[in-house]
Amino acid sequence: MRDWLFNVIRLSRTNGPIASQDATKPPAFATALLKAVFGDARADTLLNSADIDYLLSFNDGSEIPPENRADVAMLIRDRHLTLFPDATLRPNEKLSRSRVLHSIASLLQARNLLSLQKGLARPASNGIMMIRSTKGKDQPIVVNREAFLFREFGDYLYQVKSIALVGGEAITFHVNARGELDYLEAKPPANGASAERFSPFTNWSAELSLGEVQSRLGRSVRGIGSITDLRIAARGSSRRVTDLEVIGTQGIGHVRRGRIRSALGLREQLFVIDKVYNENNRVLGFVFTGRGWGHGVGMCQVGAYGLARQGYTVEQILKAYYTGIELTKMY
């Protein structure tokens, strides 16, 4: 803790005090960090008592000593110090090294005193981490064995012992004087971790009005009157819709198997349905949200491409889609 705060004082060009033993706990740490960065009692000057009480109105905020309340409030307000998911700071417990380092890095970056870089993680090549910079270039980088690693879960960053990077994660990182990555924050990619994430067609959505559904399904279901609702009656082993129940004013009909996709004009049968209602609670239309673009009974071309990007061989790709097979020469 003292070594890190001495480095903060050096970078900030202040004459901050030497940290006390209590600086291993959140309240005294907050005070020591702000004095190391600013060299003055900034929080106590800029925050009044109403601001402080409002910012510290979490579960154990009352346990923070009076002399540290303004400093803790300022760091929490500026997101340099975060609460635990149960809305507690745990002011009487010692901070973990990861929480200390994250707070220091966050505040120094906000003051333009620490250069944290941003980029996108790429699939590893021969065990070397690849990063795509903001300029669109891929660069290999060596990860220090003692690097601090953070993974985002929900709205929070948590320190982890290791991170599996599949490519596409937004990352924030620091490179030391030896050119090694020693600090990394990673957010999960929006398109997930499957090999098909490289495709712009992985996720799709289509909205159809009640009239459009009537027009498209009219030939497939007859004698049920005007269509008023749709319901997924059954899914297959791959979770694709195999039975779509069509509810009409004069009865109920069914569209089954592969005809569902073609009749509705959708990309895939791997979808869910959300209903659109009017102010009188009547169904006006449907939003179909799904994954993929195909018939769902063979090899995904985009997924195969993604596996190839990850270094899979032809044989490995085929066996990933068709289990229990053997490849042999027929000539």
In tens, the pLDDT along 184-236 reads: 999 987 766 666 666 677 788 999 999 999 999 988 998 999 999 999 999 99
**Which of 73, 92, 110 represents a domain boundary (last residue)?**
110
**203, 186 in Cβ contact below 8 A?**
no
Q: List beta partners, residue 153.
A: 156
Asked if the model's pLDDT at residue 127 lies above 80, the reply is: no
Q: Is 198 inside a domain boundary? A: no
Which tokens belong to 299?
């090899």
On whether both 78 and 125 belong to a single domain, the answer is no
**208, 216 in Cβ contact below 8 A?**
yes
Q: Is 197 inside a domain boundary? A: no
Asked if the model's pLDDT at residue 141 lies above 70, the reply is: yes
**206, 288 in Cβ contact below 8 A?**
yes
On whether both 303 and 224 belong to a single domain, the answer is no
C-alpha distances out from residue 261 to 85, 223, 243, 296, 314, Å: 42, 21, 11, 11, 30
Q: List beta partners, residue 268.
A: none
**265, 216 in Cβ contact below 8 A?**
yes
Write down the pTM of the prediction.
Answer: 0.62
Q: Is 195 inside a domain boundary? A: no
Residues contacting 61, CB < 8 A, separation 6+:
89
On whether both 155 and 208 belong to a single domain, the answer is no
In tens, the pLDDT along 104-121 reads: 999 999 999 988 888 988
Give me the domain span that covers residue 50: 2-110
On whether both 18 and 80 belong to a single domain, the answer is yes
Q: What does DSSP assign to residue 121? A: E
Q: Is 10 inside a domain boundary? A: yes
On whether both 216 and 308 belong to a single domain, the answer is no
**Which of 190, 220, 235 represents a domain boundary (last residue)?**
190
Q: Is 196 inside a domain boundary? A: no
**Which of 84, 110, 136 represents a domain boundary (last residue)?**
110
Exposed / middle / buried, residue 217 (Cβ in 10 Å: 0-12, 13-18, 19+): buried
Across 39-68, average pLDDT: 93
**105, 183 in Cβ contact below 8 A?**
yes
On whether both 7 and 99 belong to a single domain, the answer is yes
On whether both 136 and 63 belong to a single domain, the answer is no
Domain total in the chain: 4
Asked if the model's pLDDT at residue 71 lies above 90, the reply is: yes
CA atoms within 13 A on the CB side of 51: 14
